[in-house]
A and B are shown apart, each in its own frame.
Chain A
């Protein structure tokens, strides 16, 4: 075989073109991650006058014993799992509705994406007001419907505060999931449903045997996105509850923020970041493997 000059030339050009982006990625992603990893083997806080002192695995030993860390991990897990379930469920229902032909569908589709397009901090502020004890519209509605006798301090109650932040997150990001799933639904040919109906399938059977398997890739991608974002949720919680009451809604990111910015414990904060990062990578990696296998199966 002769040398493939065209291919060689294209590859050279290709590397040249991606080089700037690669350098940028290394600086912005790889460097901070490696720096945090390095820092996690040092103690650097007020007791060392913010000078790094090598302390081996001390930070990690402390982390294993740290009840507040595990509490925040639990909170994050609860928040992530519940928001994922609701967002996927509601998102699928909305996507199926938006996939039907009806007058004004284009407008509704555009409006549906709005909550996701608005800044999270603003949304969080709005929801904080909705759940406000004295002036909140939620209490007002329940009072008028006589479902409660007196105003409830929703965000002051550990259980209801968690429910409130989950509700706010679901409200904000379900539309994102819905639009993603809608793209999947639209790629399914109507012929398949008609052929299936002629085969004798009921609408429910068609949903399970045609719709779900064919939008599985979109479902997995939505889960992946939403998982990564929920796991690192910060702004919504910070504005709505600040992690309270009594740490009931404190997520890992909020705790890390407190460790570094409030307690100025940089070494320990770095250890927290490292562990959280590894957990996230592991879960995303596993999902990615599953996705790759799924793709191999459908091809």
Chain B
């Protein structure tokens, strides 16, 4: 088994269209890296560069000590699950799964054994002699997965594999994926625009925007300490409340309310961020409290997502998750901002303030 390393990887289609810019990344064995970002952030291009389907303009792709950049896709020992699944429509499930092994001239006995193993794990046994057209979306997805697993590749690539499933199935397959890939030794690179998938599946998340790596880290760290405003707004649902504020002395004003800046902050303007789930109804001892009138309540079952206009500045909308059991009034609702849950970003650079 071998680690996957991207060194200075760049892809430029023209001077202005550069989907991947000088990317450096390493994925070790047993690591599940998720590339997450909005459409057009370059995440799918990175996957294609690793697979060898696109040629990098600069930089290298290393698997172990081997520079695979000059190799065609078939010689890299990489398996990929496509968003469309890319099942061969004229072949049975069995032939689809076995295709990569046949191409590598494995003995027929070995092929059969490995196909049986994988189809057992994924519950494909009753489907082996069917054509893809006769399968449901979830079944096709499992066949695509089987085709990758059966190969025992050095690297797994998955390109938005859940995006063609309906919401219920997606959740179930996500859990299945996590279990299946926990047993895999090889590095896994997973592309998604869905932050829930990124958070639940990965051991490491790379947040991308406009071809640049914004933050790389454990999902928990990314949630807890987003490196900049983009990551803060992209990761977490519902979205973090973010308010660009100008400072006066060591305070900032949020509507009618003043909040102290943490010590040592030099920036002239700052961005205050707080997640809706961290706002709460005030308890005894809470120092930072804001209030405002509620104009929208969205029932999410366990919680209510409450939107209010901050008193003193109606352009500031604060969203908070409040337990559905709690009692509160829409008029002049008071909410506490626990200091440890507040994120501060530089107003100019949008980077996190230490």
Contact = CB atoms under 8 A, between A and B. Distances in A.
Interface of A: 189, 191-192, 194-202, 205, 209-210, 213-214, 298-299
Contact of A189 (B78, B79, B80, B86): B86
B86 A194 contact: yes
Interface stretch (B68-76, B199-207, B249-257): B68-76
A194 B99 contact: no
Nearest to B151: A199
Given A191-B86, A194-B86, A209-B88, 16 more contacts: A194-B51, A194-B80, A195-B80, A195-B88, A197-B72, A197-B73, A198-B51, A198-B80, A199-B103, A199-B147, A200-B75, A200-B100, A210-B88, A214-B89, A298-B89, A298-B131
B19 to A, nearest CB: 17
Given A191-B82, A194-B82, A299-B131, A200 B74 contact: yes
B133 interface: yes
A196 B82 contact: no
Contacts of A205: 103
Contacts of B147: 195, 199
Contact of B74 (A189, A191, A198): A198
A202 B53 CA distance: 13
B82 A195 contact: yes
B143 to A, nearest CB: 12
B153 to A, nearest CB: 9
Interface string B40-74: 00000000000111000000000000000000111
A189 B85 CA distance: 11
25 contacts: A194-B53, A194-B73, A194-B86, A195-B80, A195-B147, A197-B53, A197-B72, A198-B74, A198-B79, A198-B80, A199-B99, A199-B100, A199-B103, A199-B147, A200-B74, A200-B75, A201-B74, A201-B103, A202-B74, A205-B103, A210-B88, A214-B90, A298-B89, A298-B131, A299-B133
A260 to B, nearest CB: 47
B130 to A, nearest CB: 11
B18 to A, nearest CB: 21
Contacts of A201: 74, 103
Nearest to B75: A200
A298 B134 CA distance: 10
B84 interface: yes
Contacts of B53: 194, 197-198
Contacts of B99: 196, 199
Interface of B: 51-53, 72-75, 78-80, 82, 84, 86, 88-90, 99-100, 103-104, 131, 133-134, 147
Contacts of A191: 82, 84, 86
Interface of chain A, main secondary structure: helix
Contacts of B90: 213-214, 298
A200 B78 contact: no
B125 to A, nearest CB: 22
A194 B88 CA distance: 11
Contacts of A198: 51, 53, 73-74, 78-80, 100
Interface of chain B, main secondary structure: mixed
Contacts of A194: 51, 53, 73, 80, 82, 86
Nearest to B83: A191
Contacts of A195: 80, 82, 86, 88, 147
A249 B327 CA distance: 97
Nearest to B53: A194
A199 B131 contact: no
A197 B74 contact: yes
Contacts of B134: 299
A214 to B, nearest CB: 6
A197 B103 CA distance: 10
Contacts of A192: 86, 88
Contacts of A210: 88
Contacts of B104: 200
A231 B346 CA distance: 80
Nearest to A197: B73
B136 to A, nearest CB: 16
Nearest to B77: A200
A177 to B, nearest CB: 22
A196 B104 CA distance: 12
Most buried by B among A198, A199, A200, A299: A198
A103 B44 CA distance: 26
A209 B89 CA distance: 11
B115 to A, nearest CB: 14
Contacts of A189: 84, 86
Contact of A200 (B51, B82, B103): B103
A299 B88 CA distance: 12
Nearest to A202: B74
A191 B104 CA distance: 20
Contacts of A200: 74-75, 100, 103-104
A194 B86 CA distance: 8
Contacts of A199: 74, 99-100, 103, 147
A61 B82 CA distance: 66
A298 B95 CA distance: 13
Nearest to A214: B90
Contacts of A209: 88
Most buried by A among B78, B79, B90, B131: B90
Contacts of B78: 198
Nearest to A216: B90
Contacts of B82: 191, 194-195
